[in-house]
Structure 1
Amino acid sequence: MRPTAVLADLRREFAPAPGHLDAATAGVAPARMLRALREDLDRWGAGRMDVGRYEDAVVRARGAFASLVGVAADRVAIGSQVSVMAAVVAASLPDGAEVLCVTGDFSSTVYPFLAQGDRLRVRHVAADELAAAITPGTALVSYSLVQSATGAVLDDDAVVAAARAAGARTLCDLTQAAGWLRVDAGRYDVSVTAAYKWLCAPRGTAFMTVRADAQDALRPVQAGWYAGADPWSSCYGPAMTLADDARRFDVSPAWQAWLGAAESVTAFAEVDPAVVQAHAAGLADGLRAGLGLAATGSAIVTLPDPDGARRAALEAAGCRVAGRAGRVRLAFHVWDDADDVARALGALAAGPGDVPGSVPGDTPGAR
């Protein structure tokens, strides 16, 4: 699938209220997805549910996501949540394996490993120390490319190189990246992405990419009928014939959710990701400039907000934002424009005190 649309086409799919700066929490449903779901509800209510239509939607969504993140479709598995897919990786590690995580990273990249108790050794380091902390004893490096709490984008070339040199695997969470940031999932042994944020799909849809040379290191502990080589002909025991590609890690799709995901992910795959990135990050850097902060190239802006006063001021001005880890978080996406930047600047100017000149984790030069 190759980009065929332009940014204006994609922007016309969305019509949220002005001031929606919260794609990092959840995306906005595109018009094409709403039409597909409403039509499906009518078919379902009339007793005309079409399973073949859902099967086609899974194929379309898988292919669109593969195109968006630069891998072949047979390297993509479908799932429901990031933590569930990360748990497959955790369950596949040998006893005593060391997992290296980022301090303050989102829990879905950490809890699946901590939940293994003393079977695994989990170590946490600051994001900018991640590459240097990898040793020959590290089995897995698990981290988010874009940090949920701060919006910081890891320049992870050194991380990937250090992991390969040490013989460690990489698990990268692309949830806060895919949809606005141009990414190459093929760089990682495994990547996981929840699609309900920047890709604007229904919640309960997620993707996992698995490099061919990493596939045999993973145990398909969630194998069910949809992980079969031919799901409709291998859905009864006692023999198990799993797909020989990444589909062996598929979970049975929630039909309506994937019908919606096919529409939203395809919409993003039709547009050059670099164009979306320039638009979203450009608006965010415009807000930073208005606040006297350095540009970072991230579509997410976070500001210290320990008492929630800045969030309250933004919401009073009609901005939809989020509070995370003592910060207020503003996330700019395709539906936002210069008016949204101006609205946020006006609210912050009327808010408490001056905005500090820097935010921990939100540094210049980020990818």
Structure 2
Amino acid sequence: MFDFLIVGAGFAGSVLAERLASIADQKVLIIDQRDHIGGNAYDYYNKDGILIHKYGPHIFHTNSKKVFDYLGHFTAWRPYEHRVLASVDGQLVPIPINLNTINKLYGLQLSCHQLNDFFESKAEKIDRIITSEDVVVSKVGRELYEKFFRGYTRKQWDLDPSELDASVTARVPTRTNRDDRYFTDTYQAMPLFGYTRMFQKMLSHPNIKIMLNTDYKEIIDVIPYRNMIYTGPIDSFFNYCYGRLPYRSIEFKFETIESDVFQSTGTINFPNEHAYTRITEFKYLTGQKHPKTSVVYEYPQADGDPYYPIPRPENAEIYKKYQQLANAMTNTYFTGRLATYRYYNMDQVVAQSLSLFEKITQRQSEKHVNGQKVFQLHT
């Protein structure tokens, strides 16, 4: 009898497995239909010996000391601040848009104060910010929106920004200084030996058993357990009774190059040319020294593994129906990007799982049945 069956060995499931096993002394079975732990953050050495991320670049950043310190129990950190260039009008310019971006793009020599005036002169007044287009146009105007955002968004989501929730482009801020870091979080670092090594340490507790290459529906009636934590797609859990929740997927094309360096920064975005959205060179992220280098091209698509919930009002309505079913269940918990249909960063998933662990332990009570302690939740 397992105290917890956890479906999914990514960040959401692994954090909860580790906490329940090491702090609450629970017996945990964590299963995943893939042949590896780590979820989409899984990394490995390719045949050339270069450490790559199988499901596209994963760059860790957070403002939460609690999250950073927690993960630090399982990995040393390599400081890394990610920088991104965008290919626009035949030039490579920094994104998020900042002072250097505008000066290079237009051949100007604006100061920070002048840049603020520049943006205000371009911005369009929009009374209600509803869509992703509204977010950008109201800040920097339509010309920069067309150059940097519209094409990229249409490739990524197969929707015009006017059809997407404001949260999508709100993730990419606009700056009036020269800060060309993609993120400004307090803690920016990469696991020194990679994500997979971190997950291996996280799941090494003797109370944790792992089953890979396993669909939970194959074993759910065979292996006894008291509680479930589910991190997969919520619509799949309920057999799509309200229809499928739409996701965007990505096809990753990897290439190893007989050169020490391929491009001038970790990631280059291509808003307006090519079928791919961006190219990432892994050695920038990992700090690995190697005579060759490896890159990945990302081609967004409709079919494939579900990576990005599509933030539109009609999809939110479908999710609410599934959420009501989930809330009505006892001793079953839903967490993570797919189970809550939210576009979370890695640190947000960790924070969510740490919070859920606290919620679970607050609701637990110990009692003796036939002289043995059991874990019970008040429902």
TM-score, normalisation: structure 1? 0.26
Give the strand-richer structure, 1 or 2: 2
**Larger helix percent:** 1
Q: TM-score, normalised by structure 2?
A: 0.25
Q: Rg: which structure is higher?
A: 2
